[in-house]
């Protein structure tokens, strides 16, 4: 009788879950105990903080000091993009709408596309400026257009972070420029980027390597992507300040599994790209996303697990 109840409880748990399981060529197996310990104890990355997460379920595949609060630098712009795409999804913005930039946006400094004050730009071009060139001036222009001021926009950024379960994140601006009190964690960044990836319009810009932004009177700003991994993967965002170090979040998909990889405070750019690649290689080599039960696969009790060591 006790075994029957255990089987029923396990079946109910399986019914509501789509899981990630360690995978081998012959089928789906739990790893040998010794292999599990080895994977948990081996540092895959050199950076002090990092995480590898499955985007749809939020399952953590690998992590290293993923809950320590650190400066996120320009990775902050992921939340700015989320709010922009939220507004597009709701219909309060349209891609071909125009935004008239103000002097405050023009004055941002740092990475920018040199927007002209009191000039109108299409929203699509401002999004492209943020995704590809990490443009601070474009971020502030969009923030002011959506919320009236950057300050009000940042309040919404923090509200959205709470909605996503980002419990260790505080934003004080929409750009990631240095400022006291702005912090996040590798795990929170992975949650945030996973949300951005649900917006299909993001992929219109995430793979752009080089392009240009047109200003008044025929002036152009050439832009290029600082994320070298876009040649191999389909999305990401770099960041750097002296406090934050070299940061990177990236996404890659194979089959039906999409992984998100985050590195924060790497000592140099080479390490951040290498660490993210290392985590992706580990995840895709050792795991797969498999649906055990869905509406098209009826559940039978007792449950048979193909390839399992026990019935």
Residues with catalytic function? 74, 77, 134
User: What would the DSSP string read from start to end of the chain?
Assistant: -HHHHHHHHHHHHHHT--EEEEEETTEE-PPPHHHHHHHHHS---SSSEEEEEETTT--EEEEESTTS-B--GGGGHHHHHHHHHHHHHHTS--TT-EEE--HHHHT--SS---PPTT-EEEHHHHHHHHHHH--HHHHHHHHHHHHSSHHHHHHHHHHHHHHTT-TT-B-SSSS----TT-BB-HHHHHHHHHHHTT-GGGHHHHT--EEEEE-GGG-EEEEE-S-GGGGTSSEEEEEEETTTEEEEEEEEEETTEEEEEEEEEESSHHHHHHHHHHHHHHHHHHEEEE----TTS---SSPP-TT-S--
Distance CA 40, CA 31 (A): 12
Going by C-alpha positions, the residue among 285, 280, 81, 70 that lies closest to residue 187 is 70
């Amino acid at each position: 009788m006790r075994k029957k109840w255990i089987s029923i409880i396990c079946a109910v748990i399986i019914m509501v879950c789509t899981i990630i399981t360690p995978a081998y060529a012959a089928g789906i197996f739990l790893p040998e105990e010794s292999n599990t310990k080895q994977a948990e104890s081996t540092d895959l990355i050199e950076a002090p903080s990092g995480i590898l997460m499955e985007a749809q379920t939020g399952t953590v595949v690998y992590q290293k000091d993923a809950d320590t609060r650190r400066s996120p630098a320009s990775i902050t712009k992921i939340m700015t993009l989320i709010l922009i795409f939220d507004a597009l999804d709701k219909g309060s913005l349209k891609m071909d709408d125009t935004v008239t930039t103000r002097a405050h946006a023009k004055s941002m400094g740092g990475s920018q596309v040199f927007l002209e004050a009191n000039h109108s730009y299409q929203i699509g071009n401002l999004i492209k400026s943020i995704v590809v060139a990490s443009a601070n001036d474009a971020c502030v222009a969009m923030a002011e257009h959506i919320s009236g001021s950057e300050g009000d926009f940042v309040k919404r950024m923090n509200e959205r972070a709470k909605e996503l379960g980002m419990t260790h994140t505080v934003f004080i601006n929409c750009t990631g420029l240095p400022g006291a009190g702005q912090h996040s964690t590798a795990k929170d960044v992975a949650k945030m980027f996973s949300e951005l990836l649900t917006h299909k319009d993001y992929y219109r810009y995430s793979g752009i390597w080089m392009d240009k932004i047109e200003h008044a009177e025929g002036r152009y700003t050439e832009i290029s992507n600082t994320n070298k991994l876009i040649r191999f993967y389909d999305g990401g965002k770099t960041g750097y300040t002296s406090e934050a170090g070299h940061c990177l979040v990236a996404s890659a998909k194979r089959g039906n599994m999409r992984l998100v990889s985050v590195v924060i405070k790497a000592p140099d750019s080479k390490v951040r790209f290498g660490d993210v690649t290392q985590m992706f290689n580990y995840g895709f080599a050792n795991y797969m996303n498999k649906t055990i039960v869905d509406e098209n696969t009826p559940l039978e009790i007792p449950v048979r697990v193909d390839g399992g060591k026990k019935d």
